[in-house]
Amino acid sequence: MNVQTASPGHADAESPEALVERLARDGRAAQRVLARLTDEQKAAALRAAAAALRDSEAPILEANALDLAAGEAKGLTSAMLDRLRLDPARLAGIADAVEQVASLPDPVGQVIDTGERPNGLRLSRVRIPIGLIGIIYESRPNVTADAAALCLRSGNAALLRGGSEALNSNRAIRSAFASGLESVGLPAAAIQLVPTQDRAVVGAMLTAAGLIDMIVPRGGKSLVARVQADARVPVLAHLDGICHTYVHSAADPEMAKTVVLNAKMRRTGICGAMETLLLDTQFPASRDVVTSLIEAGCELRGDARARALDSRILPASDEDWDTEYLDAVLSVAIVDGFEAAVEHIAEHSSHHTDAIITADDAAAERFLAEVDSAIVMVNASSQFADGGEFGLGAEIGIATGRLHARGPVALEGLTTYKWLVRGTGQARP
């Protein structure tokens, strides 16, 4: 059966902590089964889940219609309703994405390194799943299937907690996904959805150290900030994407115009969008770059020297240098050379993605070495900061923390390793 393990009545009777503990124990037991699966068994399970999603089009769209009706009654914005909405094409896209994850190489079992000691002990480090991953997300129901697929591909169980406005959609997607797993003999508890919208359950997940191995928040800044502030479990996330592009004195003017325009305006709402443009005082075509942005509909906020380039540039406040607009707004500063640019980035970057445009290889390599962000780019649009664009096939998120995994995180970031030691009876002297 593919129903959720907890009936709502049962959940009501439990404390949030007890509910999370029960779900986590079921998830961990299921994960021990996943940990022993071969590459091909996991791929087959994902193909079965994708097929089940396609077969469940009618119930999933019915559940989604309930969420949309409730959302309209609650007065959700049209943008929020659009994020929530599923249709046959979008659902097919969700199933396609699950199949794509099935075709990615399995990181589990990869040998990281090996060695032999003088005493004959043979050592190796081998990738293994992390365990139980908690995913806390907002209104997009596709995250239910995407996150489930990435966790399962890497041998992890998932405990999903989606937004209340998508609860029916999420339940239907999870139910279809789990029935696909069951059709190939796997436990449905490998992918669980928290059966209640009680907000205290999120708090219980965040503090479930030893039960949940890692939390991935997927959503807006307030969600990520809350998760980072309250979690006792390790969190993989980025809070801000305050991405810089520095146009060096030796930048090709045409390239600078093209890349800068793309970095800001291709999609303004993604975390890899440029939020601050640094123009070198020695770069000769700054006015052209600025004009092309304004003509593309971007609001510019500049320091005094930037404003001298074009009267349409508004004055920037101190906060502008630390603001992620996620909109057609850009802060612009004129910098006195390479060091000043790197200094500005060190002070204001959220260490997500920062880029230099230059034809000078030495400046490029210095920038790559000295800028300490998860992603550092030369002569490319910061909008490439994405797991798919990096060839990872998918991503569970982009991380700006310094431990475990940085930048786009896909399957490898969902694994850890263990040391295997093969001896022949060695005792330590």
Site residues (CB under 8 A) for a second copy? 32, 35-36, 115, 117, 121, 123, 128, 130-131, 213-214, 234, 252, 255, 258-259, 261-263, 266, 346, 364, 368-370, 372-381, 383-384, 389-391, 401-404, 406-408, 416-428
Specify the residue, 166 or 377, whose C-beta has the smaller distance to a second copy: 377
Of the candidates 395, 17, 13, which has an alpha carbon nearest to the alpha carbon of residue 203?
A: 17
Specify the residue, 116 or 336, whose C-beta has the smaller distance to a second copy: 116
Specify the residue, 10 or 117, whose C-beta has the smaller distance to a second copy: 117
- In the block, tokens 């780019």 appear at 377
Specify the residue, 60 or 259, whose C-beta has the smaller distance to a second copy: 259
Least gap, CB of 426 to a second copy (angstroms): 5
Least gap, CB of 32 to a second copy (angstroms): 8
Q: Which residues have C-beta within 8 Å of that of residue 79, sequence separation ≥ 6? A: none
Specify the residue, 47 or 266, whose C-beta has the smaller distance to a second copy: 266
Least gap, CB of 249 to a second copy (angstroms): 17
Q: What CA–CA distances, in Å, run from 112 to 48, 108, 150, 390?
A: 30, 11, 21, 21
Q: What sign has the CA pseudo-torsion 132, 133, 135, 136? A: positive
Least gap, CB of 60 to a second copy (angstroms): 30
Q: Measured at the alpha carbon of residue 343, what is the angle toward residues 339 and 346, in degrees to the nearest 5?
A: 140
Q: Which two tokens stand for residue 160?
A: 């999903």
Q: Measured at the alpha carbon of residue 164, what is the angle toward residues 158 and 169, in degrees to the nearest 5?
A: 70
Least gap, CB of 257 to a second copy (angstroms): 10
Least gap, CB of 273 to a second copy (angstroms): 10
Specify the residue, 66 or 368, whose C-beta has the smaller distance to a second copy: 368
Which DSSP letter does residue 245 get? E
Specify the residue, 46 or 261, whose C-beta has the smaller distance to a second copy: 261
Least gap, CB of 343 to a second copy (angstroms): 10
Q: What CA–CA distances, in Å, run from 281 to 104, 255, 285, 337?
A: 46, 17, 10, 7
Burial 161-190 (b: 16+ CB within 10 A, else e): bbbebbbbbbbbbbbbbbbbbbeeebbbbb
